Amino acid sequence: MYLPPATTELQSATGAPEPGGMRFLRAWYGPRLLSFAVAVVTTLYFGPRLIQRLPDLTDRAEYLVPTEQIQINQPPRWIPSDFVTQVARAGQLPPDLKLLSPTLMEDVRAAFLLHPWVDDVVSITARSPAGLAVRLKYRHPVAMVETAQGLYPVDSASVLLPPDDFSVTDAREFPIVGGVRSTPQGPAGTAWGDPIVLGAARLAEALATRWKPLGLERIECPRVASRTGTTSMSGDIELPAGIYGLVSRGSLIVWGRTTTEPAAGELSLEQKLGRLEKYHKDFGGFDKPHGPYRIDIRHWQEISRRPLGPLPQAGRR
């Protein structure tokens, strides 16, 4: 019996071979594809109408968080107890936050970044049952800048912090930065705007762990350079322009520049810190044995020292 080869084309109703194009159309318009197309059209047409009929869950109690109940990581003790309330007020957050709101994270982040104590918002996490946890990077004070108007706290980037959040006792825990001629250029949460204050803030940060053990009291900022290239604190006390000084028990320690990269011919930060610690250990203080002194720690070979009279008030502001 004769069998047609496997490659023989299908016969049409008339007995003639079915063209390839017809086979393509038959496959394209098959039942499965037509059913899929109908489903897509139905979804596109009726979907929005069905969504509009779904219940709105954004106002349900289980999806609402009272703004004042936002959880934050432990803040430093200088930050006021009503910190979250201040954030909500300044950021104009509603009394209740909707966890299902598409702008929730953005709104909460923006509100916290407005507060002067917040350096950055690390993360925001929505929890069930209804809760919201915010992890913050707080600003930390490193010094108090002395001006005619009083003491102003700053962080290591010279950002002004809220002065009213510090008591007199708190202020005494930080280095005093004296000799500053400028005043803050903006409100709390903005940079001081003076590179001299920025240098002093960086120096205070570098000395933070050694400040009290070494008995340091003040950072004296360089004044405006004179024609002779020096800046005078008073009378016979002179500091080269751009050079900072440290004060301890009436003695003036010539520190040098505060940049992270030492100037040509100047010791590095770690070398200067080592010299401070060695001098303090050898003599028991910077006013020992018969001070006060003018102590220069910048020289490569040795520390220079000469007697110094009491620092006048002009230099101790």
Average pLDDT estimate for 174-193:
95
Residues 198 and 272 in one domain: yes
Is a pLDDT exceeding 70 seen at residue 227? no
How do residues 29-65 score in pLDDT, each as one tens digit?
A: 556 655 665 566 556 555 555 445 544 555 576 778 9
Q: Could you tell me if residue 289 is inside a domain?
A: yes
Average pLDDT estimate for 96-104:
91
**Average pLDDT, rounded, for the chain:** 81
- Reported confidence tier of residue 68, pLDDT bands at 50, 70, 90: very high
Residues 76 and 197 in one domain: no
Which pLDDT score, from 0 to 100, does residue 33 have?
59
Residues 222 and 268 in one domain: yes
Is a pLDDT exceeding 80 seen at residue 188? yes
Which pLDDT score, from 0 to 100, does residue 26 have?
56
Residues 166 and 215 in one domain: yes
Which pLDDT score, from 0 to 100, does residue 89 have?
96
Give Cα 213 to chain centroid, integer Å. Answer: 28
Q: Could you tell me if residue 44 is inside a domain?
A: no
The count of other CB atoms within 10 Å of the CB of residue 230 is 14
Q: Is pLDDT larger for residue 15 or for residue 246?
A: 246
Q: Could you tell me if residue 23 is inside a domain?
A: no
| The dihedral formed by the CA atoms of 269, 266, 315 and 283, expressed in degrees to the nearest 10 | 70
Give how many domains the chain has, as a whole number. 2
Which pLDDT score, from 0 to 100, does residue 13 have?
46
Q: Could you tell me if residue 45 is inside a domain?
A: no
Residues 127 and 225 in one domain: no
Residues 130 and 230 in one domain: no
Task: Give the residue from 264, 183, 256 showing the smallest Cα distance to 219.
Answer: 256
Which pLDDT score, from 0 to 100, does residue 235 have?
40
- The percentage of the chain sitting over the pLDDT mark of 90, rounded to a whole number, equals 56
Residues 172 and 218 in one domain: yes
Average pLDDT estimate for 62-87:
93
- Reported confidence tier of residue 210, pLDDT bands at 50, 70, 90: very high
Q: Could you tell me if residue 104 is inside a domain?
A: yes
Q: Could you tell me if residue 266 is inside a domain?
A: yes
Residues 191 and 279 in one domain: yes
Average pLDDT estimate for 295-305:
88
Q: Which residues neighbour 194 within 8 Å (Cβ) at sequence distance 6 or greater?
A: 158, 180, 182, 185
Q: Could you tell me if residue 11 is inside a domain?
A: no
Residue ranges making up the domain that contains 271: 143-315
Q: Is pLDDT larger for residue 237 or for residue 174?
A: 174
Identify the weakest region by mean pLDDT among 98-102, 187-191, 250-254.
Answer: 98-102
Backbone phi and psi for residue 31, each to the nearest 5 degrees, phi listed first? -60, -40
Single residue among 86, 116, 138 that ends a domain in this structure: 138
Which pLDDT score, from 0 to 100, does residue 63 have?
77
Is a pLDDT exceeding 70 seen at residue 16? no
Average pLDDT estimate for 140-169:
95
How do residues 235-288 score in pLDDT, each as one tens digit?
A: 445 677 789 999 999 999 999 988 666 667 778 889 999 999 999 999 999 999
- Reported confidence tier of residue 231, pLDDT bands at 50, 70, 90: very low
Task: Give the residue from 253, 170, 157, 163 showing the smallest Cα distance to 197.
Answer: 157
Is a pLDDT exceeding 80 seen at residue 75? yes
Report d(CA 79, CA 297) in Å as an integer.
Answer: 37
Report d(CA 227, CA 197) in Å as an integer.
Answer: 22
Single residue among 138, 153, 171 that ends a domain in this structure: 138
Q: Could you tell me if residue 183 is inside a domain?
A: yes
Is a pLDDT exceeding 80 seen at residue 143? yes
